[in-house]
Structure 1
């Protein structure tokens, strides 16, 4: 049995094993007492071991529990935490029972908090489909578990027209098993405090000494310094770094190869040479675009009584023979009745005008990166997967066991975002141009464009024409990680689903699929999301998307925020 002392994560370590005449239970736990036998007059039901423990301090113990009769293969363990004066909750990892015969061992996963006078009924941990239970008691346990979970994990509407979320007004309202462990909480909150302190100190510095030249920009780089920060400081104005960001920066999801010149790119008279250059690059398949049209018409925020501004730029880029992606022209806003031929900015323009145009692009990239590709396409999607998993798949289901390590902490981190970053009057409203309601409009537009294929790198990169693009490190790594994840998923799924008919006949799996598409994602079947699984391949592809989105994709979109090259304030 493992638990208690590991506040930062699950303990996946082997317990000591010895052979005894009776079953041996190995348990790291918070207790200084031997196991308490069942009360007088009570005996364990056949095939089930009933165990009660008092939890006091973190430690690991191994003890022998003699049982006079042969129980046969153990199917369940009931775990009870006695009430005490200091009623601390106890996080139990697992219980391992070693029988009298070599290799006769049973493991009962828990990985839950044991609270108050509660009793947990833990089945033996081998994954099973609903129709593969030799004992009817397993089916009853699955049904009881899901009934209880549906009462605990409820859907809620955060904003109309957006994916549903867990019903929790704040992190304290979340189920205990979805909360940060102490080590994670301290690390998370410590990082926030350190970042906030650095921002305050820099703000005070800028109040005392305003910027008058670009050299003053160096002042923001004091504090945590590294090689990357120094490189950004030296090259943040370069066109080469500007183009590189679209391939491998914080947001590598917008760039696409052109198959024709964009209709919004209106070239006025006098720019025939630019048109010729664009058409030449187009013929060579070396012309790319980054279109921020999703921002067009989004209402801008008002911060401290001052109206903010939002651009919806278009950037045309070329890839030269050395593999460098370089900007050719920037259009800040699309054509409109009041401006049918909006101004264009070129690298040959005065340096400050060209730099200002690039700064507006980076500002717009911040808005789409944070809201569309980070919040919606990873965080909110992962939360839908997490809530549906807890509501529809019992702990014995192989898909539950496959997914649960990848959706850990999802509900708390998202709840904190909704209560700290995104509430009315929160950080987004106080500091970001799309705050004050514009962010909700943008998320709704982004959801309308969110397709199943767009979440799968082989489809997404092919659609954007980036397969085989020189220097596209994100694209290369995403494909490799997708393939690795797919092989892992297929290996697990083929152990339990020996044919397409088994997939179609799994009621828990089919309910989970519908819960995601029809409920959590608000009828997303018209955007390619499945409402049922008809084959092994279809199931494996969907699960690969789930795991990839919650792990590799979020890492690619999130971790780059440590340094955002040449990005002005939001």
Structure 2
């Protein structure tokens, strides 16, 4: 037991500190002890008579794996209950190179009552004489932590606590800044993002480094090495006059290549099995429709309310709609569409194709739209496809399924229909990769995370609610901006037809984006998709929305006693304003995000939208990429021949010559695996120890018993949803379990 220097006063009370340090995430490294100095603790700093002196803890702390240290102090009874805790580190002056320390949480036992102070942040030791007041080495100079549920600023009555949260917020704002637009003339739309462009320069609390474990690094390096080797061989053989692009001679060869690579590189066999199922069925219209409803881009389908406009020039054959008239099935609400308007004006790709193939290729970008019909057997099938090579000034062409009496799949009409579907799926994949996945799941969420960090201090209950969800998005986006969507080092340009103008696709997408799209029930209603049979993406998204909405409401009710509390919460209102002014600067009406929220109901809706979009929605669109996209004929990432014209005679050779060559196919497969693989440190709404999956409890800063009760109730509801999804999937050839709560991470890491 440590004893405070001031023990002359008989009126003393025991304070027990339980100090939890080290990563709370699994690590391959053995336990390492932090021994670079001394921890300094102060209870109620700045409060006058109730402030303790600076308490020194010289224990060795766990710094690589989870651990705790317990120390006791006798302190004057006048200090009373610990309301605010200051945590600092003083260095060992004999060490020149020091490590920062990750502190998870500190609990103080006072009068046998636990007072929990959640931290989850790094701190760097300062010199014993020079105690900084500003960030150093990417770390805050010290922690000032409020205990329990967190509080609203206008509920605080003690000046020392108010000053502490203001100081903390000032320091965080100095570390987390919006990127200032470089040119006012560039009016392309893109949400605000962090002004730091290199991962290593991020503040330590934003570095989610543990996500880059050896497993992922090794997989990435294997893929990168093979791509480099192939490209080098191609260039060398081209110089020698022996180069020939390595193309596949059949769909079966694509499937065999997928199996061979999965064994060689170690891709998950369960995912490969799902991809192979798709390989067997991808030519069927029913499978095409299933993927529109349950694939990675399932949010794009919407009801057709008129056959004028884009569909006026096409003709749907009667046999495709079971002998009925188009007007009849339209009036019954059985027609749906998927469109790719954000590709308008996007040039053909292939500018960097030589890096992989050794020769320059053109990858064609076209506009492609698909009309779908719900048959009487409740299967959704495509009935009309519109293709338009607008970049080359070509007219639109129309494609429809062959007559049912033509049963030979290699008949020219079947091949022409298959070819049209491939062109549409290729365009749809471009929209998926850049719009659905990156723009909606990454760019938007980063803005929301930055505004959270800049406006809500540690003491704020909404920060503690959102923290498990926002912690991954900023670092993964910083990495992505350097290697995935950087115009100079754009990985998308190495395999996507649309990859050479990612900013153009973003601009087209964000011109139409609205905050209302994040309100899942409202979005489903506006798209008119409430009644499509077998729309499992809709069913599971709505279920998650309802569960998380209830969770957010319960958490909000703990801190906001009435609507007036929402209005008076200046930190919260600053958050809403920051999202509009900086997160969606230049967007018309701030993309519909509210500049202010005045009641609890709208606050709960907003928080639900943030949590669902950053966790559930990202899961739905990200963790099926391998299953859906690695068998290349199912969804070609690029098309290497000009798009078909009306009188094009489609042959199997033309189809195979249009699909990507081997090197591009492998690169796309490897990227799909990397993006669609769980990080080893992922946490999920439900834990599953047998699958090495961790639940959400360990990541929370919401540590008060009332808050943990809310989290447990959330877990109970998620468990019921899992059981419902499990029961639904029994006997299904294609299971839809991507949104099972044991598969749904809390945050965005890929």
Following superposition, the deviation at residue 367 of structure 1 comes to: 0.9
User: Does structure 1 residue 108 correspond to structure 2 residue 108?
Assistant: no
The structure 2 residue matched to 1:261, chosen from 307, 312, 323, is 307
Residue equivalent to 1:399: 462
Residues 436-483 of structure 1: per-residue CA shift (max 9 Å, x gap): 3x2111111111111111111111111111113210000011111001
Residues 309-330 of structure 1: per-residue CA shift (max 9 Å, x gap): 1121111111112221111111
User: Does structure 1 residue 120 correspond to structure 2 residue 143?
Assistant: yes
Say if 1:257 and 1:465, in contact at 8 Å, map to a contact too.
Answer: yes
Aligned counterparts of 2:392 and 2:493: Cα–Cα separation in 1: 30
Residues 203-228 of structure 1: per-residue CA shift (max 9 Å, x gap): 88998964222221222321133331
Say if 1:293 and 1:334, in contact at 8 Å, map to a contact too.
Answer: no
Residue equivalent to 2:337: 289
Aligned counterparts of 2:439 and 2:211: Cα–Cα separation in 1: 27
1:181–1:430 Cα change, 3 Å: closer
Residue ranges of structure 2 left out of the alignment (5+ in a row): 1-11, 22-32, 127-140, 235-242, 355-359, 404-411, 639-750
Following superposition, the deviation at residue 61 of structure 1 comes to: 2.2
Following superposition, the deviation at residue 527 of structure 1 comes to: 3.7
Aligned counterparts of 1:514 and 1:259: Cα–Cα separation in 2: 36
User: Does structure 1 residue 365 correspond to structure 2 residue 428?
Assistant: yes
Residue equivalent to 1:230: 276
Say if 2:20 and 2:106, in contact at 8 Å, map to a contact too.
Answer: no
Aligned counterparts of 1:119 and 1:269: Cα–Cα separation in 2: 69
Residue equivalent to 2:619: 555
Secondary structure at 1:379's aligned position in 2? helix
Q: Normalised by the size of structure 2, how large is the TM-score?
A: 0.67
The structure 1 residue matched to 2:14, chosen from 22, 25, 37, is 22
Q: How does 1:129-208 map to 2 (within 5 A)?
A: 129-157=152-180, 160-182=188-210, 184-186=212-214, 188-196=216-224
Say if 1:517 and 1:523, in contact at 8 Å, map to a contact too.
Answer: no
User: Does structure 1 residue 529 correspond to structure 2 residue 593?
Assistant: yes
Aligned counterparts of 2:197 and 2:277: Cα–Cα separation in 1: 42
Aligned counterparts of 1:87 and 1:526: Cα–Cα separation in 2: 44
Residue equivalent to 1:478: 541
Following superposition, the deviation at residue 147 of structure 1 comes to: 1.3
Q: How does 1:406-445 map to 2 (within 5 A)?
A: 406-423=469-486, 424-436=488-500, 438-445=501-508
Secondary structure at 1:307's aligned position in 2? coil
Secondary structure at 2:68's aligned position in 1? strand
Secondary structure at 1:237's aligned position in 2? coil
Residue equivalent to 1:220: 257
The structure 2 residue matched to 1:569, chosen from 625, 631, 637, is 637
Residues 111-143 of structure 1: per-residue CA shift (max 9 Å, x gap): 110113143333324311111112111111111
User: Does structure 1 residue 323 correspond to structure 2 residue 378?
Assistant: yes
Secondary structure at 2:17's aligned position in 1? strand
Following superposition, the deviation at residue 145 of structure 1 comes to: 1.3
Following superposition, the deviation at residue 386 of structure 1 comes to: 0.7
Aligned counterparts of 1:270 and 1:81: Cα–Cα separation in 2: 72
1:363–1:92 Cα change, 3 Å: same
Aligned counterparts of 1:482 and 1:37: Cα–Cα separation in 2: 43
Aligned counterparts of 1:503 and 1:230: Cα–Cα separation in 2: 52
The structure 2 residue matched to 1:306, chosen from 343, 361, 364, is 361
Residue equivalent to 1:51: 55
Aligned counterparts of 1:451 and 1:87: Cα–Cα separation in 2: 47
Per mean C-alpha deviation after superposition, the further-off stretch among 169-178 and 327-336 is 327-336
Following superposition, the deviation at residue 232 of structure 1 comes to: 1.4
Aligned counterparts of 1:529 and 1:207: Cα–Cα separation in 2: 53
Aligned counterparts of 2:257 and 2:427: Cα–Cα separation in 1: 21
Aligned counterparts of 2:604 and 2:303: Cα–Cα separation in 1: 29
Secondary structure at 2:509's aligned position in 1? helix
Per mean C-alpha deviation after superposition, the further-off stretch among 48-57 and 352-361 is 48-57
1:139–1:457 Cα change, 3 Å: same
User: Does structure 1 residue 465 correspond to structure 2 residue 528?
Assistant: yes
Following superposition, the deviation at residue 70 of structure 1 comes to: 3.8
Following superposition, the deviation at residue 372 of structure 1 comes to: 1.1
Aligned counterparts of 2:156 and 2:69: Cα–Cα separation in 1: 32
1:527–1:426 Cα change, 3 Å: closer
Following superposition, the deviation at residue 337 of structure 1 comes to: 11
Residues 269-316 of structure 1: per-residue CA shift (max 9 Å, x gap): 896887964333213321111111221221222333433211211111
Secondary structure at 1:432's aligned position in 2? coil
The structure 2 residue matched to 1:355, chosen from 404, 414, 418, is 418
Per mean C-alpha deviation after superposition, the further-off stretch among 513-522 and 112-121 is 112-121
Aligned counterparts of 2:200 and 2:36: Cα–Cα separation in 1: 32
1:113–1:106 Cα change, 3 Å: same
Following superposition, the deviation at residue 77 of structure 1 comes to: 2.4
User: Does structure 1 residue 89 correspond to structure 2 residue 100?
Assistant: yes
The structure 2 residue matched to 1:504, chosen from 531, 555, 567, is 567
Aligned counterparts of 2:506 and 2:398: Cα–Cα separation in 1: 28
Residues 386-425 of structure 1: per-residue CA shift (max 9 Å, x gap): 1101111111111111111100121110000000111113
Aligned counterparts of 1:37 and 1:200: Cα–Cα separation in 2: 51
Aligned counterparts of 1:495 and 1:453: Cα–Cα separation in 2: 27
The alignment of Structure 1 onto Structure 2 pairs a total of residues equal to: 546
Secondary structure at 1:156's aligned position in 2? coil
Residue equivalent to 2:747: none
Say if 2:37 and 2:91, in contact at 8 Å, map to a contact too.
Answer: no
Say if 2:366 and 2:391, in contact at 8 Å, map to a contact too.
Answer: no
Aligned counterparts of 1:33 and 1:288: Cα–Cα separation in 2: 64
Say if 1:371 and 1:439, in contact at 8 Å, map to a contact too.
Answer: yes
Residue equivalent to 2:83: 75
Aligned counterparts of 1:531 and 1:538: Cα–Cα separation in 2: 12
Following superposition, the deviation at residue 31 of structure 1 comes to: 5.5
1:315–1:395 Cα change, 3 Å: same
Secondary structure at 2:105's aligned position in 1? strand
Tell me how large the CA RMSD over aligned residues is: 3.1
Per mean C-alpha deviation after superposition, the further-off stretch among 438-447 and 294-303 is 294-303
1:428–1:186 Cα change, 3 Å: same
Secondary structure at 1:25's aligned position in 2? strand
1:208–1:430 Cα change, 3 Å: closer
Residues 61-116 of structure 1: per-residue CA shift (max 9 Å, x gap): 222222254421112222222323241111000111112x33x2212221110113
